[in-house]
Amino acid sequence: MPFLELETNLPAGRLPPGLAQDLCAAAADVLGKPAERVNVTVRSGLPMVLSGSAEPCAQLVVSSIGVVGSAEQNQRHSARFFDFLTAQLGLGTERIVVRFYPLEPWQIGKNRTVMTFL
C-alpha cells in the first residue's frame, strides 16, 4: 500500500490536469503495485525553499511496504520518478527531491485493523 505525497510551490493552475491520477498510475508501474492500492496527495502553492532557493520546486515523499527498503531499489525508483516529475512539472532535476520511507505492515491501519492481519 504505497503512499505518495507531492508538494510544490507551483500554483495549482500550473499543474497538469489529472496530475494526481497520473502520479497514481506512474507509482503503480514504478513500484509494481496495483493502482487500487496506491494513495496520492498533491499539494500546490506551498511556501517552499529547496537548496536555499524559493524558485519553483517540488518534493515527493514515497512510503511503502517492501519496495523502498534498499539503496538499489530506490536508485531505480528515483530515476523513474524524476522522469515523471520533470516531464509533468517542467522542472529541472536540481529542483526536485524524492524521499523514500519503508513501512512495516503494522504501521498502516485499514478496515479497523492493520495490514499485518489483512
- If you average pLDDT over residues 80-93, what whole number do you get? 98
Cα dihedral: 37, 43, 17, 23 (round 10): -30
Percent of the chain with pLDDT over 90: 100
pLDDT in tens, 43-65: 999 999 999 999 999 999 999 99
Torsion-angle region of residue 18: left (phi > 0), alpha (psi -120 to 50) or beta? left
pLDDT in tens, 87-118: 999 999 999 999 999 999 999 999 999 999 99
Q: What pLDDT sits at residue 105? A: 96
Backbone angles phi, psi at 109, to 5 degrees: -90, 140
Rounded-to-integer distance, Cα 78 and Cα 76, Å: 5
Domain of residue 25, CATH code: 3.30.429.10
Q: What pLDDT sits at residue 100? A: 98
Q: What pLDDT sits at residue 28? A: 98
Work out how many domains the chain is built from and give that number.
1
pLDDT in tens, 9-44: 999 999 999 999 999 999 999 999 999 999 999 999
Angle separating helix axes 71-89 and 19-31, nearest 10 degrees:
150
Q: Which three cell numbers stand for residue 41?
A: 496527495
Q: What pLDDT sits at residue 6? A: 98
Domain that holds residue 11: 2-117
